[in-house]
Amino acid sequence: MKQPEEIFEYLKQKFGEDSIGFEAPEVGQPWIEVDASAVKDVMKFLRDDKELRFDVLMCLSGVHYPDEEAVGVTYHINSTQLKHSLALKAKAPIDNPFIQSVESVWKTANWHEREAWDMVGIKFKEHPNHKRILCAEDWEGHPLRKDYVQQEFYNGMPTGDN
Amino acid sequence: MGILDKKYHDSNIIIVNLESALNWARKNSLWYEQFGLACCAIEMMATAASRYDFDRFGIIPRSSPRQADVMIVAGTVTMKMASRIERLYEQMSEPRYVISMGSCSNCGGPYWEHGYHVLKGVDKVIPVDIYVPGCPPRPEALLEGFIKLQEKITGETIIEKEEGSSSELEEVSQAKTA
């Protein structure tokens, strides 16, 4: 069992400080910030390394950061064998919202990443089935963005109270 | 109508108004389309099960819209589902009825303003005969909705109206007051 600080130190030896960072807020869980282009390598290492063995992706959530003009993904992972868990974050600018897919690492990510695309508009590189999961395929916009404007009509049906 | 509880000894001929015979037959064999959209469907299932027992009104579920007389829109109508509901309604043969069950399908319910994905009332895509309020309505409420629908069917007429007289809904209300 390892604490997040220890895991970060361990990862730093492997990946260096360029692609990962560590943040510990006063309140809440600390997390490891991962560069969007290094996500897949880092996650694969977290899953396969003998001292980490993160075998479960508990949750993958899309986030919109309007102040930073960025979108991001938060990963919560857990090791059922070594009984430790970890939070990681990756960010990408809103006009170029590409983050590597972790579908090849944990299959759970498949639907979660589709949801993050549907709701927040994050694009996942190398995702095998990159389409909307909840909204209709021809829906306009991504509803959980803070600046989302709802379309007035969908297929001729009003979406509002009018 | 009270004809069936009488006993006939000499003759088996019953003289009855054709319209009321037809309406009597139709209102006592309301087959509903078996399809639920959200938690209201659970109440609909409870209404169909033994405690409340839809069957005693001749109301039985059908799995095909082509065999159904009435559609119970039981639950939240999302924008994605709305076009499917429209298509299912078009597949039903006439005369056909729609019961909108619960707040969501009546007016959007808890998703009334900020639910970008919910249609604010199924009556925006298909005509609704009976609105059953509740979130979700209890089985008694749904049963009462059906009884209201039976009343509506009792008042229907097969007599052709003069051209341009009125819409279907007005016809029913006229027939009721007449």
CA–CA distance, A70 with A96 (Å, rounded to integer): 9
Is the per-residue pLDDT at A129 higher than 70? yes
* A-chain residue closest to B124, CA distance: A157
SS3 helix, strand, coil % of chain B, rounded to 5? Answer: 45, 10, 45
Distance from CA of B147 to the nearest CA of A (A): 30
- Residue A70 backbone dihedrals phi, psi, to 5 degrees: -140, 160
Q: What residues 3-62 of chain B have any CB closer than 8 A to a CB of chain A?
A: none
Nearest CA-CA partner of A63 in A77, A76, A46: A76
Nearest to B79 among A148, A154, A161 (CB): A154
| C-alpha neighbours within 13 Å on the C-beta side of residue A67 | 0
* B-chain residue closest to A158, CA distance: B119
CA–CA distance, B87 with B82 (Å, rounded to integer): 9
Which tokens sit at A147?
A: 């600046």
What is this structure's pTM? 0.77
Domain ranges of chain A: 4-158
Per cent of chain B over pLDDT 70 is 83
Q: Do B117 and A143 touch (CB under 8 A)?
A: yes
The residue to which tokens 């039981």 are assigned:
B74
Q: Do B120 and A155 touch (CB under 8 A)?
A: no
CA–CA distance, A122 with B140 (Å, rounded to integer): 47
| Set of chain A residues whose Cβ sits within 8 Å of the Cβ of B111 | none
pLDDT score at B165: 52
Is the per-residue pLDDT at B164 higher than 70? no
To the question of domain A4-158 being in CATH 3.30.460.80, the answer is yes
Q: What residues 80-109 of chain B have any CB closer than 8 A to a CB of chain A?
A: 80, 82-83, 108
CA A3 → CA A46, A73, B3, B107, distances in Å? 14, 21, 82, 51
CA–CA distance, A44 with B136 (Å, rounded to integer): 46
Nearest to A155 among B83, B116, B120 (CB): B83
Mean residue pLDDT of chain B comes to 85
Q: Per-residue confidence at B176, pLDDT binned at 50, 70, 90?
A: low
Can you tell me the mean pLDDT for B4-30? 80
Chain A contacts to B (CB-CB under 8 A): 134-136, 139, 143, 148, 150, 154-155, 157-161
- Pick the residue of B76, B77, B79 with the most A CBs within 10 A to test the interface with A by mutation: B79
CA–CA distance, B41 with B51 (Å, rounded to integer): 16
Tell me if A30 sits within 8 A of A84, measured CB to CB: no
Is the per-residue pLDDT at B42 higher than 90? yes
At B53-107, the pLDDT tens digits run 989 999 999 999 999 999 999 999 999 899 899 999 999 998 899 999 999 999 8
Q: How many angstroms from the chain centroid is the CA of residue B49?
A: 18
- The single-letter DSSP state of residue B138 is P
Q: In sequence order, what are the residues at sequence separation of 6 or more whose Cβ sits closer than 8 angstroms to the Cβ of residue A51?
A: A2, A10, A82
Is the per-residue pLDDT at B13 higher than 90? no
Instruction: Return the bridge partners of B36, or none.
Output: B74
The residue to which tokens 């001292």 are assigned:
A51
Query: Residue A147 burial (CB < 10 Å; 0-12/13-18/19+)?
Result: exposed
Q: What is the ipTM of this complex?
A: 0.72
Looking at the complex, does the CB of residue B66 fall below 8 Å from at least one CB of chain A?
Answer: no
Looking at the complex, does the CB of residue B114 fall below 8 Å from at least one CB of chain A?
Answer: no
